[in-house]
Amino acid sequence: MTIEFIWQLPTSGDGRYAAPGITRRGERAAGAPSPLQAGVSDPRGARPPFNYFDYLHQIARAADLSGFDGIQVRHDTQGDESWIVAGYLARSTRHLKLIAEFDAAWGSAVYAAKNAVSFQRFTGGRFAWQIGHGGDAAARRRQGDAAPDADIVPRIDEFIAVARGVQNTSPFSFKGRFFEVQDGGFKGPLANHPVNGIYLTGDSPEALALSARQADVHVFDAAPVAHLQPSIDRLHTQARQLGRAVAAGLRIDVLARETFDEALRDARRYRGGAGLPDEAPSADGTAGGAALFWPGFAQAQTGAHGALVGSYAQVSAALEAYAQAGVSSFVLAAIPHFEEAYRIGEHVLPRVRAALSAPLQAA
């Protein structure tokens, strides 16, 4: 089983070790106070000659250099557009898969497919989509999407069918509830390019069935291994029944340090600095055993439903356990994303890869 490790980019802002509140690092709005203390002049002037895109570039380069397989550009309604960020970063990375997350109301499936083909052309086939459901009905309405809940999964299904159809077939015709194409399909320089990968999400039976039909990877929200195992097995079974193979993914945050006590101390310091309750879940016996699973640890900042907290060895062992349960795509993050990309890439990923490759080498 091939394992991939993806690092998430924070499109709306990031924190610092000493100040975990979310800010757009490297960027200062007009009139905002200098980050330097009173009496110290800032040689960069009132507004530094760079912006948050420069910081995102640093995160992507850190992920590239420290051994990640890709980056996921998070869709955040208050952040920069994920497709634009992916395009900005494509030329500055050499090996990373570029996963642009967007929601179900993105618009024309044909136009999205054309964009994807262009991304594939200039990245050498490194582009992928992660299509979300857009949140609850109120969140979708704030983005101009009035579709009822029952239409979201069927609309994604048609979106993917049309996007793949115009990339693979010419002429291509399709008539559904949400999309209609008559004698479409790409020709010339847009024809015959690898179709971009599809990452989907959701925990409903309908979402799992959609992934079994259409996804390359289904990304589950963070939960303990025992809670995820039935859903992973169901996904793989449904995909096999359709003659397909769909990888199981996991979106989870990680906070790893030399020792468990150091990790727990930094976790509590982060929660306290971010104005969140710092009481950890029960950690009885954890210092000498497994990593701590902390539900909702930084969910408001990163979107992950939970985090692994522990030593490098403990967090590595926890990721290995997810892999043994069938997870083969890990979408990871930690605040601050730049510094932590190096830490996880240097101290956790090599351990996990070595442990998972050992049985293959023995065989």
| Torsion sign over Cα 345, 130, 252, 266 | positive
pLDDT in tens, 98-122: 999 998 787 899 999 999 999 999 8
Among 160, 162, 258, 268, residue whose Cα is nearest residue 212:
160
Look over the chain and give the mean of its residue pLDDT values, rounded to a whole number.
Answer: 90
Cα(249)–Cα(352) distance, integer angstroms: 16
pLDDT for the residue 36 = 63
Whether pLDDT at 288 is above 80? no
13, 24 Cβ separation under 8 angstroms: yes
Whether pLDDT at 30 is above 70? no
Evaluate if pTM is beyond 0.95.
no
Whether pLDDT at 287 is above 80? no
Pairing of strands 292-295, 247-257: unpaired
Whether pLDDT at 48 is above 90? no
Mean pLDDT of 275-299: 86
Cα(333)–Cα(251) distance, integer angstroms: 8
Least confident interval from 19-28, 29-38, 137-146, 186-195: 29-38
pLDDT in tens, 166-205: 998 999 999 999 999 999 999 988 888 888 999 999 999 9
Mean pLDDT of 279-296: 84
352, 320 Cβ separation under 8 angstroms: yes
Cα(141)–Cα(277) distance, integer angstroms: 31
pLDDT in tens, 114-149: 999 999 998 989 999 999 988 877 878 887 777 788
Mean pLDDT of 231-257: 98
134, 143 Cβ separation under 8 angstroms: yes
Whether pLDDT at 361 is above 60? no
21 against 84, higher pLDDT: 84
Cα(257)–Cα(77) distance, integer angstroms: 32
pLDDT for the residue 141 = 82
Cα(328)–Cα(246) distance, integer angstroms: 10
What the chain holds in terms of domains, given with CATH numbers, is: 4-28+45-258+310-362 (3.20.20.30)
Pairing of strands 217-221, 247-257: parallel
Mean pLDDT of 257-286: 89
65 against 278, higher pLDDT: 65
